[in-house]
């Protein structure tokens, strides 16, 4: 009888400890989950900071090219009359190419296209023009779609093909960017007909 009592006492004691320890274990697990979420948010925050810093460095590098440009080439990437392209710019065919002689053109273009942009449209990007701004052996490409008022800016890199610098819509700058484009192509009726 004494032996049965001790076994029963041990079982009841273990059960009582398990019942009493359960809330403590749940609290501990909840604290571990909270800590894991906090660490994940901290890592995400660090990644966002790294992305923002990388974007800032890329824009600064592109701005340096725009502000110290040695040459600007402009390419018309569409044809109203379905003419045969005269060359390719990356994967895009081009139908007209001009050199821009205005020394302030590149700096003005850079000031517009490197402003922070946002995407707010769902449309098919149909590039109309590309401006390639050179500084010695490096260049920045700005590809512009006047159909949906969006642009992409990439920078050349010897190790990579093209490094994205920025993208987004340019609704607020559309009149200025359209005027710059028409200035670059003064004798091109396709460009002059854009509005």
- Dump pLDDT digits (tens) for 89-114: 888 889 989 988 877 899 999 988 88
Query: In angstroms, what CA-CA distances link 117 with 70, 90, 163?
Result: 26, 24, 17
State the alpha helices, DSSP H only, in the chain: 2-67, 105-113, 174-184, 189-192
Report the Cα–Cα distance between both ends of the chain, in Å, rounded: 102
Confidence of residue 156 (pLDDT cuts 50, 70, 90): confident
**By the 8 A CB rule, do 128 and 94 touch?**
no
Q: Given this model, what pLDDT does residue 166 score?
A: 84
Q: How far is CA 181 from CA 25, 27, 146, 156, in A?
A: 68, 64, 10, 22
Do 170 and 179 touch, CB atoms closer than 8 A?
Answer: no
pLDDT in tens, 115-126: 877 666 778 888
Report the C-alpha gap between 171 and 111 in whole angstroms. Answer: 15
Predicted TM-score (pTM) of the model is 0.72
* CATH code assigned to 64-192: 3.30.1490
Helices within 102-188 (DSSP H only): 105-113, 174-184
Report domain extents, the chain.
Answer: 64-192
């Amino acid at each position: 009888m004494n032996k049965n009592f001790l076994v029963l006492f041990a079982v009841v004691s273990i059960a009582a400890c398990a019942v009493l320890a359960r809330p403590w274990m749940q609290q501990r697990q909840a604290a571990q989950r909270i800590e894991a979420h906090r660490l994940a948010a901290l890592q995400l925050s660090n990644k966002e900071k790294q992305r923002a810093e990388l974007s800032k460095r890329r824009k600064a590098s592109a701005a340096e090219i725009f502000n110290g440009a040695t040459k600007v080439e402009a390419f018309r990437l569409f044809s109203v009359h379905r003419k045969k392209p005269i060359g390719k710019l990356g994967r895009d065919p081009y139908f007209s190419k001009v050199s821009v002689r205005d020394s302030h053109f590149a700096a003005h273009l850079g000031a517009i296209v490197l402003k922070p942009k946002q995407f707010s449209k769902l449309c098919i990007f149909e590039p109309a023009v590309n401006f390639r701004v050179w500084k010695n052996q490096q260049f920045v490409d700005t590809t512009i779609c006047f159909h949906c008022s969006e642009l992409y800016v990439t920078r050349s890199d010897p190790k990579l093909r093209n490094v994205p610098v920025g993208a987004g819509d340019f609704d607020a700058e559309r009149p200025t960017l359209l005027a710059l484009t028409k200035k670059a192509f003064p004798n091109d009726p396709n460009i002059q007909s854009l509005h």
